[in-house]
Amino acid sequence: MPASVVAGNWKMNTTVSEAVALAAGVKDGASSAGNVELVLCPPFVSLTAVRDAVQGSAVKVGAQNMYHQDSGAFTGEVSPGMLQGLCEYVIIGHSERRQLFCETDESVNDKIKAAQAAGLKPILCVGESLEEREAGKAMDVNSGQVRAGLDGVTDASGLIVAYEPVWAIGTGQAATPGIAAEVMGGAIYEALRGIFASAADQVPLLYGGSMNAGNAGDFAAQDCIHGGLVGGAALQADQFLQVAAAVAAAKA
Ligand code: PEP
């Protein structure tokens, strides 16, 4: 059974001082999350401060993105090497990056490889749009994004895959646990098995999309769901900790 993980994607929210306060709140209550690995993903400018704020606890830090090149004339970008020492995880291929910043399966694949080469643990995000779901393409879209994002990747250690149906992100309309389990235990797991064989069994699969304290336990009660990638509910320490506690209880 993979580790249970609850990661908070703070997106473009929090000033540095707000980020420190939020991280301190999570650190203070982290024991309520049991064995669940807690990962905080603040904006780049707060990584150092959040790393320092959670020091001495089991709370981990992640970035929300990175570029795949080591250095050079890439104005505004952040390299894998720059993240080393600041965070352990990095979210790759979030649907907002795919939709708003033109990220493709190819660029996602470059980033996954570069993250692993730098010793960072990538959280690969996949998920279908509403149009794709209504057209009956959800399974194909998700398995395709997993296969393309991991093309040429041979090491599953440290990898996490998050299923985030685009229609459920930030809408308050979470998927049902049944829908999530169909995609995660079906298309996503099968694609991972095809790439990594039995090592796929150790890859944590997170659900993301309007997850909150009220529904997290139902998602985590599914065998194929090992935690969550949480947006809105991660911006309040108590709500984030309640999500993690619900996951911990479901997995106990
Ligand atoms: C996300 O952005 O990864 C996310 C899941 O957001 P929310 O929980 O707000 O839907």
| 57 Cα to the center of ligand 1, angstroms | 25
Residue-number span of the structural domain to which 240 is assigned = 5-251
| 9 Cα to the center of ligand 1, angstroms | 7
pLDDT, one tens digit per residue, over 37-75 is: 999 999 999 999 999 999 999 999 999 999 999 999 999
Counting atoms of ligand 1 from 1, which one is nearest the CA of 169? 10
Count of other CB atoms within 10 angstroms of residue 152: 8
Q: To the nearest whole number, what is the mean pLDDT of the chain? A: 98
Residue pair 135/166 in contact by the 8 Å Cβ criterion: no
| 96 Cα to the center of ligand 1, angstroms | 10
pLDDT, one tens digit per residue, over 7-24 is: 999 999 999 999 999 999
Does 210 sit in the ligand 1 pocket, CB within 6 Å?
yes
pLDDT, one tens digit per residue, over 179-207 is: 999 999 999 999 999 999 999 999 999 99
Supply the pLDDT for residue 166. Answer: 98
89: its two tokens? 């995880």
Antiparallel, parallel or unpaired: β 60-63 and 37-41:
parallel
Counting atoms of ligand 1 from 1, which one is nearest the CA of 234? 8
Distance CA 183, CA 178 (A): 9
CATH of residue 10's domain is 3.20.20.70
Number of domains in the chain: 1
Supply the pLDDT for residue 126. Answer: 98
